[in-house]
Structure 1
Amino acid sequence: MPDPSAVDATAAVFADLREEGRELDSLVGELSGPDWARPTPAPGWSIAHQIAHLHWTDRAALLSLTDAAGFGLMVEEALKAPDSFVDEGAEEGAALPPAELLARWRSGRTGLDAALAAASPDTRFPWYGPPMKAASMASARLMETWAHGQDVADALGVRRTPTARLRHVARIGVRARDYAYAVRGLPAPAEEFRVELTAPDGAGVWTYGPPDAPQRVTGPALDFCLLVTQRAHRADLSLAATGPDADRWLDIAQAFAGPAGPGRAPEGSR
């Protein structure tokens, strides 16, 4: 029999993913046609590219959950152009009329939500990195939705209110520490770090790692999430590192799979 607490936690992740999608939808749902072409901080990507990319990756997640063979074919196509398949997928969707792109993204979110709810909670589903359980896949989709939503918000000049949903993003960022080193061909530190992040409401602290670890990172949860999704430069964030290894990590941290990105330039240099 499934652990009721685990079932509740999984349902909460799915609900948070739905809410993250709705929040981004509220930013783009009423945009006029020309606004979809607004450039975002990602070079060469408009708002339409951002939504198209989310639709493309939602579709990949849906295939993973419901059609492993179909997902395998999608991976084969990606391997043929490993350096460009992400941009190509975004470009294809961005070329659609905005109303059609919006409808496809909404439909894809609905389909993915249903597939996540129907998925066996203990099954690991294929992905571009290690296979994931449905709850982990939902967390990853939330992280990406939030990150690309930040690009859209920046393009529109909107300041979003951070929520407790950032806990999912922060957790992925902490767990992906060693990946950030590996993707750069660097050895990861042997010891765990202590990470202490002030919750968005300021009423609590999210903690990760041994409390007595000498290497530490502290600061606002929002700033940590902006850092690990590479939506802001470290120089513009209020994060503190104790110890040389923790300090180095803040220069290379990333929560997303794939090659190390260039990150954002400091605000003063843009």
Structure 2
Amino acid sequence: MSEPLSVYDDLRDESEELDRLVAELEPGRWRLATPAPRWTVAHQIAHLAWTDRAALLAMSDAEAFAGEVEKAIAAPEAFVDDGADEGAAQEPGVLLARWRQGREELQEVLRSAAAGGTKFPWYGPPMSAASMATGRLMETWAHGQDVADALGVERPPTSRLRHVARIGVRARNFAFAVHGMRAPDSEFRVELVAADGQVWTYGPEDAAQRVTGPALDFCLLVTQRAHRADLAVRAEGPDADRWLDIAQAFAGPPGKGREAKGRESEGGAE
């Protein structure tokens, strides 16, 4: 299956995997704290439902979505938290049904727009339908990781992580920009080892600056779900090393990231 089509299937499958984690939860477990400060399991699902609706608005009414962007610029943290708080206040069954309906509607719109080549507005650069789906998959996986951590569940990495890794690599210059830094002029070589042993590669093979490590660890890094010190991601070269400290695959201002757990790391610059 071609990449433009598979990303929609992978978004569906990633969402369904997370759905299975929360579908049978007792109401009280929706209030479990996740690694994100102040956010419960309900907040994580509410945020996904909220951003799915935002994506639908961006693809159907650019003018109305521009108003939402203005609100986000005015108060970025409050804007996101308010949306999550509103959804998390709902009964779990209502919230779950809302998330399911929204993501199903988004799937239909994304697939309908796939062949058109139209770019849609977003909180970062405008995106094609395939890029929008990739972004939604990245967020679903990342917030799903928070849910899994809260529930004490270990999720085996899947080949769907290639989408998360790709958007993390492509967002390199954006990560430098939101930190007020000039992006390096040269490309980096990134080599990531997937769970099945395949190596996903990005950038010129002879690049002087390199990043290597497990694909899962790289995805945890660029979604800021784990601290670099706790991951086996390695950098060669000062610019690559600096990138690993600021990498983010998501739009918006720099995240605060997670505190290091203190596990001995194989990471660092060479």
Give TM class, smaller chain.
Answer: over 0.9
The one of 56, 60, 79 aligned to 1:85: 79
Q: Which amino acid in structure 1 is aligned with residue 168 of structure 2?
A: G
Q: Which residue of 1 aligns with 2:96?
A: 102
- Segments of structure 1 that go 5 or more residues without pairing to the other structure are none
Distance 1:152 1:208 in 2: 30
Distance 2:112 2:168 in 1: 27
- Taking structure 2 as the reference length, the TM-score comes to 0.94
SS at match of 2:192: strand
Distance 1:243 1:13 in 2: 32
Superposed CA deviations along residues 59-103 of structure 1, whole A, max 9, x for unmatched, are 010111222233233324334433310000000000001100000
Q: Which residue of 2 aligns with 1:24?
A: 18
Q: Which residue of 2 aligns with 1:132?
A: 127
SS at match of 1:241: strand
Q: Which residue of 2 aligns with 1:200?
A: 195
Distance 1:206 1:99 in 2: 39
CA contact (8 A) 2:229 2:262 kept: no
The one of 158, 163, 188 aligned to 2:183: 188
Q: Which residue of 2 aligns with 1:62?
A: 56
Distance 2:73 2:221 in 1: 28
Q: Segments of 4+ in structure 1 off by > 6 A?
A: none
Alignment map for 1:252-263 (pairs within 5 Å):
252-263=246-257
Distance 1:76 1:189 in 2: 30
Distance 1:200 1:47 in 2: 27
Q: Which residue of 1 aligns with 2:36?
A: 42
Identify if the C-alpha distance between structure 1 residues 62 and 83 changes in structure 2 by more than 3 Å, giving closer, same or farther: same
Alpha-carbon shift at residue 233 of structure 1 (Å): 0.7
CA contact (8 A) 2:208 2:237 kept: yes
CA contact (8 A) 1:196 1:219 kept: yes
Which stretch of structure 1 is more off in the superposition, 39-48 or 240-249? 240-249
Which stretch of structure 1 is more off in the superposition, 77-86 or 90-99? 77-86
CA contact (8 A) 1:230 1:263 kept: yes
Identify if the C-alpha distance between structure 1 residues 196 and 110 changes in structure 2 by more than 3 Å, giving closer, same or farther: same
Identify if the C-alpha distance between structure 1 residues 170 and 158 changes in structure 2 by more than 3 Å, giving closer, same or farther: same
Superposed CA deviations along residues 87-134 of structure 1, whole A, max 9, x for unmatched, are 000000000011000000000010000011111430001111111100
CA contact (8 A) 2:230 2:262 kept: no
- Segments of structure 2 that go 5 or more residues without pairing to the other structure are 264-270
Q: Which residue of 1 aligns with 2:143?
A: 148
Distance 2:255 2:44 in 1: 16
Q: Which amino acid in structure 2 is aligned with residue 61 of structure 1?
A: A
Distance 1:201 1:77 in 2: 43
Q: Which residue of 1 aligns with 2:268?
A: none
Identical counterparts, % of pairs: 68
**Is 1:240 aligned to 2:246, yes or no?**
no
- Taking structure 1 as the reference length, the TM-score comes to 0.94
Superposed CA deviations along residues 28-80 of structure 1, whole A, max 9, x for unmatched, are 11111000000000000000000000000000101112222332333243344
Alpha-carbon shift at residue 247 of structure 1 (Å): 1.1
Distance 2:139 2:8 in 1: 14
* Root-mean-square deviation (Å): 1.3
Alpha-carbon shift at residue 213 of structure 1 (Å): 0.4
